[in-house]
Amino acid sequence: MNPFVISAYKAPEFFCDREKETRAIINSVTNGVNIVLYSLRRIGKTGLIKHVFHALADRAEYELIYIDIYRTKNVDDFVNELASAMLRIDRKVWYRRVLEFLKKFRPVLTINPVTGQMEAEIRAVSEGQGPQNLDAIFQFMEQYPSKIILAIDEFQQITAYPEHGFEAFLRSKIQFLNNVNFIFSGSNRRIISSMFQDYNRPFYQSGSTLYLDKIPEDAYAAFIQQLMERTNRKITEELVVKGLQWTESFTWFTQNYFNRLWGTGVKTITGNLMKSIEQEVFAEKERDFVELRNILPENQMQLLTAIAKENSVQKPTAKEFLSAFKLGPASTVNAALRVLEQK
């Protein structure tokens, strides 16, 4: 098996570092404290949550539920995602009780043709019953004999739901749950920060906060070399560092890059092989970049191009940067930045 995993979580030996973060999350949720986990996209939040769940899996006093609500559009979608996740827990007593509980909603149960797992769709008898259904699910969890840890990935998505006031409704229910602790995870730092740090928002200071940064280069480099050596591949430390610099140590891109290198079957990794992989990645992404250029307004595309050429820009409205790339006045660049941050 290719040791550089890029999809589902496999096992601790294929997971790099994050020891401090793992301890922090486990310490919070097992001591009754909700936690907010946020970062840029492709940093490895989901993998970390699954790693935490793996560490807790053998502890019978916990039931672990993970949902990703990125594709949900409304409260009913949220409820269906949660109900389906409850059915995926492979513990006989839990499964029997959940199935019996969900029958009251007359769910449509289907088998996912891809995963082979059972999924549930709770069809509301009339419009607007999503919140009531969710409240009933929370009450079931509250009365369950085992402690429940519920991880909600891409939590910022609830702010896009058409149901006015759902954020406040959810907070009002969660604050009274003693048997359920939450991991709130989000990839839009601006929205997540606002949800939990803005005094006027319902979730203000309702959990401890953990920002997930990039894995330190030295730890990631040692991990990569270890996996290579363990699977009969040779690569110098210098080349590993060059690879990390090319991916900028973003977890998903790094895993994908070294997955491709390992997948070539070449036993000794060379600089030329790495360059060929980089060209391969660029070729695959060319169409995406062309589409991006077509859909973005000219001023936004010019700003992105300028930032890409500089590689890193600390002050995008600095006079030197604006004049070097002829970006126009700082007010225009600020407006473009605000729009791009939301995309």
Residues 238, 144, single domain; the answer is no
- Tell me, yes or no, whether 5 lies in a domain: no
Domain assignment of residue 54, yes or no? yes
Three-class SS state of 35: strand
- Examine the domain organization and report whether 94 and 195 are in the same domain: yes
Quick one: 21 exposed, middle or buried, by C-beta within 10 A (0-12, 13-18, 19+)? buried
Residues 142 and 239 in one domain: no
Q: Which of 66, 70, 42, 43 is CA-nearest to residue 54?
A: 66
Q: Are residues 207 and 60 in the same domain?
A: yes
Shared domain check, 82 and 57: yes
13-22, 192-201, 276-285, 288-297: least confidently modelled range: 288-297
pLDDT band at 222 (very low <50, low <70, confident <90, very high): very high
Please name the residue ranges forming H helices in the chain.
19-29, 45-56, 75-87, 92-102, 130-143, 166-174, 189-197, 217-230, 237-247, 251-263, 271-295, 298-310, 319-324, 330-341
pLDDT category at 277 given cuts 50, 70, 90 is very high
108 with 86, same domain: the answer is: yes
Is 8 inside any structural domain?
Answer: no
pTM of the model: 0.88
Average pLDDT of every residue of the chain: 92
Give the CATH number, domain containing residue 43. Answer: 3.40.50.300
Distance of alpha carbon 73 from alpha carbon 166, whole angstroms: 12
pLDDT of residue 126: 46
Q: Are residues 148 and 244 in the same domain?
A: no
- For residues 59 and 191, membership in a common domain is answered with yes
Is residue 122 scored above 70 in pLDDT? no
- What's the total number of domains in the chain? 3
Residues 234 and 309 in one domain: no
**Cβ neighbours for 334, distance < 8 A, ≥ 6 positions apart:** 317
Query: Quick check: 114 pLDDT over 70?
Result: no
The distance of Cα 274 from the centroid of its chain, to the nearest Å, equals 28
Q: Mean pLDDT lowest for which of 134-148, 228-242, 263-277, 285-299?
A: 285-299
Whether 59 is in a domain gets the answer yes
Q: What's the pLDDT band for 54 if we cut at 50, 70, 90?
A: very high
> Domain span at residue 226?
217-293
CB 105 within 8 A of CB 133: yes
